[in-house]
Amino acid sequence: MSALFESITLRELTIPNRVWMAPMCQYSAAPEGPLAGAPADWHFAHYAARAAGGTGLIVVEATAVSPEGRISPYDLGLWNDTQVEAFRRITGFLSSQGTVPGIQLAHGGRKASTDQPWKGGAPIGPEAHGWQPVAPSAVPFDERHPVPTELTVERISEIVGQFAAAARRALAAGFEVAEIHGAHGYLVNEFLSPHSNHRTDDYGGSYENRTRFALEVVDAVRAVWPEDKPVFFRISATDWLQDGGWTADDTVRFAGDLHAHGVDLLDVSTGGNASGATIPTGPGYQVPFAARVKAGTPLPVAAVGLITEAEQAQKIIANGEADAVLLGRELLRSPSWARQAARELGGAVRVPDQYHRSV
């Protein structure tokens, strides 16, 4: 059996293989009205195709814990029960195909209130369904973005509660994995990094203070998430800055903290918090960061970043660099990538009866 197609058990949840779908925003929900933030036909078709293609775990795109936590007005959300009902259609189908449904809970922070990327992705105001972003500090992401409102301690506590409430709704919607989005320059990541966190209170300055908000979110989600189901955390392992940013050493240290607070797997990405940072990309360019966490902590990890070939993914798992791979753009191009990789590597995935002629 190919290592890529061995099952993995986290707490009491067994995921049938190590080919997972990374969360990728579709920017396709209604921006306002009774169905704002709710998944629609596009989302169902999008995720259903990857489940039918044999993907072991699908982590549904960044889903906002509040309306102002959306990256764009067109993002998914879990701040009301109408959204819960809409998600059940997706989780039910994924489960019927043997795919584990997961969801990424998120808050956009200072990078919120932007347009759809195919329209340029620029910050937008109230005239285009936008709003005033918030952040740990009144420091804009770049010259295009507005100066965000610095969060008060009371608002920080409120957002922690919103993560917990969204996790409760995710459970009611049928999700089996909850992932906290702590990467790519969004709110949790903004608190972690000294590049974006200039606070002088208990939420800024020292490593312990800058990680406080993230750990409070983890504790709040873990408190409402069942003991037998796993919680993931997605992290940007480095800001890719020479100094003044979050580093790979910080990530290894923080992985130990996350493990102690009940996180079951670290989803290791990089970048997104420092505008203009130079990032040396290439096939598997982020895998070494995942491998370093895996070697230095007891926390399981998933690797991401230009993983496109079956043999490449197989080696990452077989060499012990990661416990799973999360594919992004490659699954957009090839919804049945897992089934094709299984054929190439001699593995096995569930094939829908309707597709039996493709075996």
Looking at the annotation, which residues are catalytic? 186
Cβ distance 264 to 231 under 8 Å?
yes
The length of the chain is: 359
Q: How many beta carbons lie within 10 A of that of residue 206, not counting itself?
A: 10
Q: Tokens representing 176?
A: 């089996």
In 3-state terms, what secondary structure has residue 60? strand
Q: What would the DSSP string read from start to end of 199-244?
A: --STTSSSHHHHTHHHHHHHHHHHHHS-TTS-EEEEEES----SSS
Burial of 259 from C-beta contacts in 10 A (0-12 / 13-18 / 19+): middle
Cβ distance 201 to 153 under 8 Å?
yes
Q: Tokens representing 189?
A: 């990541």
Q: How many beta carbons lie within 10 A of that of residue 244, not counting itself?
A: 11
Q: Tokens representing 234?
A: 């997605």
Query: Which helix (H) or strand (E) segment is 256 a member of?
Result: helix 248-260
Q: Tell me the chain's radius of gyration from C-alpha atoms.
A: 19
Query: Which helix (H) or strand (E) segment is 134 a member of?
Result: strand 134-135
